[in-house]
Structure 1
Amino acid sequence: ITDILGQQAKARGESKLSQYVATRPVFTEVEAIRRAIFFAKQTGCPIHICHVACPEGVEEVIKARQEGVNVTCETCIHYLYFTTDNLDAIGPIAKCSPPIRDQQAQDGLWKYLFAGHIITAVSDHSPCTYDLKNKTNAFDAWGGISGVQNNVDIFFDEAVQKRGMSLKQFADIIAKNPAERYNLPTKGSIQVGKDADLIFIKPHSHYVLKEQDLEYRNKFSPYVGRQIGAQVVQTLLRGKTIYQIDSGIDSTPRGTFIRR
């Protein structure tokens, strides 16, 4: 459906990112979620719906859970931060699918996040080289957001500082809930025997994100130029400091594969 709508829009000469959004209407996202839930219900397979961009999609998950289906869902930070009205000014750097929707959709996502129906908010980090984004026609650009570096500070600012989310719920959303859902027993909470994965956040510490601040190989993000109201000042991975605000990222690779 979205392919045909996109082809028709391009044939009409449409090229803006907001016009791209119109070719990905809410019902197409909801239909895909319904189909996935249907197969989960038939097979008994646990399922997690990733990057839900509309409250109507969350409502399908709520309904299915009430019917006994083992289903959960997540949204992304960019759906909680940007709206369609922002997109044409930013350009294809903010293109993703499902697309960033309007203010009413965003308000609905925040409501369901606070209510616990959305269990986590993630990056869906999708980097690419700049040439794949630098298109005059948004329909031709790579679809994906580079945002993982600033997810935590932006979410803390938007959820805790601006909307009054409790620190416990904040920690549950970014750590405890996904660790439990994906059965990662050494992750998600501060307990004896678990990995000492810790972040330290300085609240009410405003800064404007610049391209040179990005650690990405391809230094662009829709968050560049935005004022962010909190800063991550230190990050520990399994007890080792891997980032400090004054010295930056530790260049020693420390990632390990976790078998579920």
Structure 2
Amino acid sequence: MICVDSRPAHPTILPTVSKKQKLPPVIPERLDLVVRGGRLVTPEGVQRADLGILRGKIMQIAPEIGEEAEATLDAAGAYVFPGILDGRVQFNEPGRADWEGLASGSAALAAGGGTCFFDLPGHSAPLVLDSAALRVKRLLAEERSCTDFALWGGLVPGNLNQLAGLKSAGAIGVMARLGDSGSADFQGVDAASLHAGMQRAAQLDLLVAVHAEDATLAAKLTAAQQAKGRHNARAYLASRPAEVELTAIRQALEIAGETRCALHLLAVSCPEAVALITAARAQGVDVTAETSPHYLLLNEQDFIKIGAPAKCSPPLRDETRRLGLWAELRAGRLQTVGSGHDPAPPDLKMAEDFFAVRGGIAGVQHGFELLFNACARTAAQDLPVLAAVLARNVARRFRLDDRKGRLAVGLDADFSLLRLNEKEQPITAAELWTRHPATAYLGRSSHVRVTHTYVRGGAVWAEGRLTNRANSGQFLKPRP
């Protein structure tokens, strides 16, 4: 359960821009869009201002923009939030469109305020292990996505010679699973192969993302539970305590320090892991950490209650750790938050044996919205934190900050409108845009709803409708 008061808030807003402040020169062209009367959210705070948009870029930010425009968006009473860059999704195309899809996944992302996704390499056919496979996925995403996108390449045993090609083709980075990948196709790496991969990636100036869990310890603990005839949700939790995660993170941090490779740790689920990462950063290791909304919103008791839709790896943690993760986030020691959207067909979620149930939480549409709701009463303090971890920090880490990540003049006009409703609204299956109408968040209620999402100045999502279904997303390559 979210331990916050969910009553609608009237937060203190930072002082508005002074009307005496020198404004940019008048734009010679008629603006395409003016967003009027909103509360702009940046990592520095919240303030009342208008946005002027021309040819997909933010051209003006001012207390009031008097010029006429081709269109006006009334944002009075709403928060104008920078477009979310979701650094970890599995949209499964090409090859597994029955799991999710680029069209359905990007639509759900837009409905939740997202304007860009980074698709993982390990759940499509072909796997994105070389430049040819990346180009296949890129062409398909350009045809089907309604939001901008970037693509991960894969790091598996035996594909070191493909890393240079992946970088040249525009991969945002390469991703590896330290330990058992859970897939016969996308192999996990051991310490030796991760070391070799990170050494090569460092030479190429290529970031490596690692999902870190100790396969040996997890297998031993799983076998112990199964030997006792235990296969329920509690048994799964017992098979993957925090030490499974911490052991692998220590190993990844050591290798990153030795190879001087940029490391991004995925699915960080507990404050003890953040402490290890913070200590490594203090010693000069180039490492950042990502958590997911479900680790901030749900705990292990929710998993026991919800069941298979809430199974993930690492698993949901106890309430003390959940609250501790929020503290780390607010302190700036967690750098990014990604949905970790990992769907599966319903039949793979129906086994009675929880060790056999396909893991993964489908959260791309409502995870971020529920984070906004969790911060409703403390919006002036906490929405800027979310602007950092959902947008600015992601753009910086992945070298997209010349275009994305902030509400700033000269950058892409990517944003969403968040409105606080007096009455809570429950999340229902009928409103899901994902391939399968299932999520661990069904039935949870929120005062906050995303009413509009714009990508490069164009409306993608508006008042419950998808306004641009496909063929509008652009492929994003990191700057040099």
Q: What TM bracket, shorter-length normalisation?
A: over 0.9
| SS in structure 1 at match of 2:313 | coil
Shift of 1:65: 1.0
Would you say 1:46 and 2:262 are equivalent positions? yes
Give the aligned residue type for 2:432.
L
| SS in structure 2 at match of 1:203 | strand
Would you say 1:141 and 2:357 are equivalent positions? yes
Tell me if structure 2 keeps the 8 A contact 1:236–1:242: yes
Would you say 1:157 and 2:404 are equivalent positions? no
1:105 maps to: 321
- The 5-angstrom pairing of residues 1-260 of structure 1 reads 1-161=217-377, 165-184=381-400, 185-204=402-421, 206-248=424-466, 250-260=468-478
Instruction: Tell me how far apart the structure 2 counterparts of residues 11 and 229 of structure 1 sit (CA, whole Å).
Output: 46
Instruction: Tell me how far apart the structure 2 counterparts of residues 91 and 166 of structure 1 sit (CA, whole Å).
Output: 30
Tell me if structure 1 keeps the 8 A contact 2:330–2:382: no
Instruction: Tell me how far apart the structure 1 counterparts of residues 235 and 380 of structure 2 sit (CA, whole Å).
Output: 34
Instruction: Tell me how far apart the structure 2 counterparts of residues 129 and 165 of structure 1 sit (CA, whole Å).
Output: 39
Shift of 1:164: 6.5
Q: Deviations over 1:21-65 (max 9, x none)?
A: 111011110111111110110011111111100111000011101
Tell me if structure 2 keeps the 8 A contact 1:48–1:72: yes
Tell me if structure 1 keeps the 8 A contact 2:421–2:448: yes
Aligned residue pairs total 260
Which has the larger displacement, 217-226 or 161-170? 161-170
Cα 1:4–1:231 change in 2 (3 A) is same
Instruction: Tell me how far apart the structure 2 counterparts of residues 171 and 204 of structure 1 sit (CA, whole Å).
Output: 21
TM-score (norm 2): 0.52
Instruction: Tell me how far apart the structure 1 counterparts of residues 436 and 465 of structure 2 sit (CA, whole Å).
Output: 21
The structure in which a higher percent of residues are helix is 1
TM-score (norm 1): 0.95
Shift of 1:169: 2.0
Instruction: Tell me how far apart the structure 1 counterparts of residues 241 and 456 of structure 2 sit (CA, whole Å).
Output: 42
Cα 1:163–1:7 change in 2 (3 A) is farther
| SS in structure 1 at match of 2:352 | coil
Give the aligned residue type for 1:85.
Q
Q: Deviations over 1:136-185 (max 9, x none)?
A: 12111111000010122111111343686333222112100111111112
Which has the larger displacement, 167-176 or 179-188? 167-176
Shift of 1:242: 0.5
| SS in structure 1 at match of 2:264 | strand
The structure in which a higher percent of residues are strand is 2
- Flag structure 1 segments of 5+ consecutive residues without an equivalent: none
* Higher RCO (C-alpha 8 Å, min separation 6): 2
Q: Which has the larger radius of gyration?
A: 2
Give me the identity figure in percent: 34
Instruction: Tell me how far apart the structure 2 counterparts of residues 49 and 254 of structure 1 sit (CA, whole Å).
Output: 30
Which has the larger displacement, 68-77 or 163-172? 163-172
